[in-house]
A and B are shown apart, each in its own frame.
Chain A
Amino acid sequence: QGQLVESGGRVVQPGGSLTLSCETSGFPLSSYGMHWVRQAPGKGLEWIATIYYRGTHQFYADSVKGRFTIYRDTFQKTLYLEMTSLNADDTAVYYCARNGLREVSGGHFCDSWGQGTLVTVSS
């Protein structure tokens, strides 16, 4: 199983921007699709973005489409989530997660999760 460590969460003002990082180890990032999933305080899990293992396709939830960008650096073994135009509804713990199947453009469940990083949008 891989290891995932998120960082970058902090308090940010409404309308602000923030980039989260997810350092990976123990597996080749180029062989796995990756996901970002968030959890607002006291709420359930919400999928927000996926990047295919080839890096050729990205998918976004409607709630973040046009504002968030998922990308990766396979040499740095790091996944990123760039977030812009943040609002209070974006306040959540953000998890990065590894796709459960290797080198397939499907099977989008998550078999490894990071510990999460908290983003708070508040003035």
Chain B
Amino acid sequence: EIVMTQSPATLPVSPGERATLSCRASHSVSRDLAWYQQRPGQAPRLLIYGASTRATGVPARFSGSGSGTEFTLTVSNLQSEDFAVYHCQQYYDWPLTFGGGTKVEIK
């Protein structure tokens, strides 16, 4: 099983600043990596797939990078609606696995 590790667990950020989230895979997943946003009480929402491709309707302030075992999600100019939990997921191999999540909170 490919273990996905996200860091940090909690990230305090001021509105308007940049948040940088990390996701590490225990084995290479090539670029088969997705990022999701989950607001409180809501279902997850796809942000990024293929490590760096934004999903339909996702603002350009969200960007993904990386390949192999190291991935980054960057959220620029944080808006109030961006304070949420972010999950990464590998789909390179079965079982599909998620990271533990990073909560971006208001500093």
What residues make up the interface of A, taking CB atoms closer than 8 Å to B?
A: 1, 35, 37, 44-47, 50, 59, 61-62, 95, 100, 106-116
Pair A108/B91 contact, Cβ less than 8 Å:
yes
State the majority secondary structure of interface residues on B: loop
Q: Report chain B residues within 8 Å CB of A46.
A: 98
Which range holds the interface residue count of chain B? 20 to 34
Please determine whether B95 and A114 come into contact, CB atoms closer than 8 angstroms: no
Chain B residues with Cβ below 8 Å from A100 are 34, 46, 49, 55
State whether B94 touches A44 (Cβ < 8 A): no
Q: Could you tell me if A45 and B89 are in contact, using CB atoms closer than 8 angstroms?
A: yes
The 8 Å CB contact of B98, one of A45, A106, A107, A112, is A45
Enumerate 30 A-B pairs (CB-CB under 8 Å) in ascending A order.
A44-B87, A44-B98, A44-B99, A44-B101, A45-B36, A45-B44, A45-B87, A45-B89, A45-B98, A45-B101, A46-B98, A47-B96, A47-B98, A59-B94, A59-B95, A61-B95, A100-B49, A107-B32, A108-B91, A108-B96, A109-B34, A109-B49, A109-B89, A110-B46, A111-B56, A112-B46, A113-B45, A114-B43, A115-B42, A116-B43
